[in-house]
């Protein structure tokens, strides 16, 4: 089995280069009336590129492949995303444009995550926030991670010495997370639970000093479902998707006698006016007193 590796440092440099856009590279190759349908952006996961190219540009797949390989000679696979992320397991469907390998390895600030992009969801776009959260955790923390995926939030927390409980509904993701925990030396204090995070109350009768909530798009409109499990003085890190007006409403709703928002950061957009946000929410006092 071939494993492909990309470091976070190299990924950051590549992102800077990719801002130039494929459209510029392919101007004069693809007719102008079709060029507007070509996405400028694509995602790199390990040595696999994922892009969304419409059927109207199928005749130019070889040209698109050539342009991508000129930017990234180390690519072993280029996949065309032909569906949105669907279902509880958050899987998209792909057609290969170049290569066939779908198992890869991503490296983020010293951690290694092995996965199959056809089986599980993974995004590199929150790497800097994952690093920030990791540096906030200490060995006295008890950490809960719903929607845990292959472990990019849970595993770094466990390596800090915290006791970590990770819930994930996908059996593929759980298997990769278990494997990644071994690879990263995090197995001893990482508890992997296969199940629906939205039924977490049935799985865990426990409170936590820190909850990391990488909410899938469209799944959770409020972190209240999980905030009840925070101890006094504990912090939740909530990743969500909404527009600027909505995030301001969330901040206002979460600011009061029980909670306060101590951090808010916008991390890219996924649709017109829809952004990925992360909020740090501190529990000032318990609402069960």
Is residue 147 located within the same domain as residue 265?
yes
Please tell me the distance from the alpha carbon of residue 62 to that of residue 52, in angstroms, as a whole number. 15
Is residue 14 located within the same domain as residue 41?
yes
Kindly report which listed range (15-29, 146-160, 177-191) carries the lowest average pLDDT score. Answer: 15-29
Domain boundary among 46, 76, 106: 106
pLDDT for the residue 3: 40
* Banded model confidence at residue 205, pLDDT cuts 50, 70, 90: confident
- E strand residue ranges, 180-224: 190-194, 208-214
Please tell me the distance from the alpha carbon of residue 274 to that of residue 269, in angstroms, as a whole number. 6
Please tell me the distance from the alpha carbon of residue 236 to that of residue 16, in angstroms, as a whole number. 31
Is residue 143 located within the same domain as residue 178?
yes
Is residue 61 located within the same domain as residue 187?
no
Is residue 93 located within the same domain as residue 35?
yes
- E strand residue ranges, the chain: 5-6, 43-45, 48-51, 77-81, 94-98, 103-108, 111-116, 142-145, 163-168, 190-194, 208-214, 230-242, 259-271, 274-283
User: For the segment 53-95, what is each residue's pLDDT rounded down to a tens digit?
Assistant: 999 999 999 999 999 999 999 999 999 999 877 777 778 899 9
Nearest to residue 230, comparing CAs of 163, 164, 282? Answer: 282
Please tell me the distance from the alpha carbon of residue 155 to that of residue 166, in angstroms, as a whole number. 9
* Banded model confidence at residue 288, pLDDT cuts 50, 70, 90: low
Tell me the residue range of the domain where 11 lies: 5-106
Is residue 98 located within the same domain as residue 148?
no
Q: Within 13 Å and on the Cβ side, how many CA atoms surround 255? A: 11
Residues 6+ away with beta carbon under 8 Å from 224: none
Average pLDDT over residues 210-223: 88
Q: Is 46 left (phi over 0), alpha (psi -120 to 50) or beta?
A: left
Is residue 60 located within the same domain as residue 130?
no
Is residue 134 located within the same domain as residue 222?
yes
Please tell me the distance from the alpha carbon of residue 55 to that of residue 82, in angstroms, as a whole number. 9
pLDDT for the residue 225: 85
Kindly report which listed range (12-16, 163-167, 285-289) carries the lowest average pLDDT score. Answer: 12-16
Whichever domain contains 215, its CATH number is 3.40.50.150
Burial of 257 (0-12, 13-18, 19+ CB in 10 A): exposed
Is residue 95 located within the same domain as residue 157?
no
Please tell me the distance from the alpha carbon of residue 141 to that of residue 139, in angstroms, as a whole number. 5
* Banded model confidence at residue 286, pLDDT cuts 50, 70, 90: low
User: For the segment 222-268, what is each residue's pLDDT rounded down to a tens digit?
Assistant: 898 899 999 999 999 999 999 999 999 999 999 999 999 999 999 88
Could you tell me if residue 113 is inside a domain? no
* Banded model confidence at residue 12, pLDDT cuts 50, 70, 90: very low
- Whether the Cβ atoms of residue 50 and residue 122 lie closer than 8 Å to each other: no
- Report how many domains make up the chain: 2
Is residue 190 located within the same domain as residue 273?
yes
Could you tell me if residue 199 is inside a domain? yes
Could you tell me if residue 111 is inside a domain? no
Percent share of the chain, pLDDT over 90? 73
Could you tell me if residue 157 is inside a domain? yes
* β-pairing verdict for 94-98 and 103-108: unpaired
Is residue 150 located within the same domain as residue 178?
yes
Sequence-distant contacts of 245-253: CB under 8 A, at least 24 apart: 247/275, 247/277, 247/279, 250/222, 250/279, 251/279, 253/222
* Banded model confidence at residue 9, pLDDT cuts 50, 70, 90: very low
pLDDT for the residue 287: 59
Could you tell me if residue 268 is inside a domain? yes
Q: Is the pLDDT of residue 182 over 90?
A: yes
| 144 or 289, greater pLDDT | 144
Could you tell me if residue 112 is inside a domain? no
Percent share of the chain, pLDDT over 70? 90
Q: Is the pLDDT of residue 269 over 90?
A: no
Could you tell me if residue 171 is inside a domain? yes
């Amino acid at each position: 089995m071939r494993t492909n590796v990309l470091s976070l440092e190299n990924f950051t440099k590549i992102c800077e280069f990719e801002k130039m856009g494929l459209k510029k590279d392919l101007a004069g190759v693809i007719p102008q009336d079709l060029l507007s349908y070509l996405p400028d952006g694509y995602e790199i996961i390990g040595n696999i590129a994922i892009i969304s190219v419409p059927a109207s540009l199928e005749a130019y797949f070889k040209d698109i492949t050539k342009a991508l390989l000129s930017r990234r000679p180390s690519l072993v696979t280029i996949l065309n995303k032909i569906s949105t992320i669907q279902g509880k397991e958050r899987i998209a469907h792909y057609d290969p444009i170049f290569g066939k390998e779908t198992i890869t390895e991503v490296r983020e600030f010293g951690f290694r995550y092995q996965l199959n992009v056809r089986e599980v969801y993974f995004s590199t776009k929150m790497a800097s926030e994952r690093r920030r959260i990791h540096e906030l955790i200490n060995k006295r923390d008890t950490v809960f991670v719903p929607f845990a995926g292959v472990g990019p939030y849970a595993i770094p927390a466990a390596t800090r010495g915290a006791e970590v409980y990770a819930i994930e509904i996908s059996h593929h993701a759980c298997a990769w997370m278990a494997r990644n925990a071994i690879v990263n030396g995090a197995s001893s204090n990482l508890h992997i639970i296969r199940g629906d995070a939205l039924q977490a109350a049935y799985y865990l009768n426990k409170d936590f000093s820190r909850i990391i909530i990488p909410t899938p798009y469209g799944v959770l409109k409020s972190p209240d479902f999980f905030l009840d499990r925070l101890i006094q003085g504990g912090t939740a890190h909530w990743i969500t998707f909404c527009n600027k007006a909505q995030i301001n409403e969330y901040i206002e709703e979460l600011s009061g006698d029980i909670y306060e928002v101590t951090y808010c950061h916008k991390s890219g957009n996924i649709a017109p006016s829809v952004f990925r946000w992360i909020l740090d929410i501190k529990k000032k006092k318990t609402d069960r007193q």
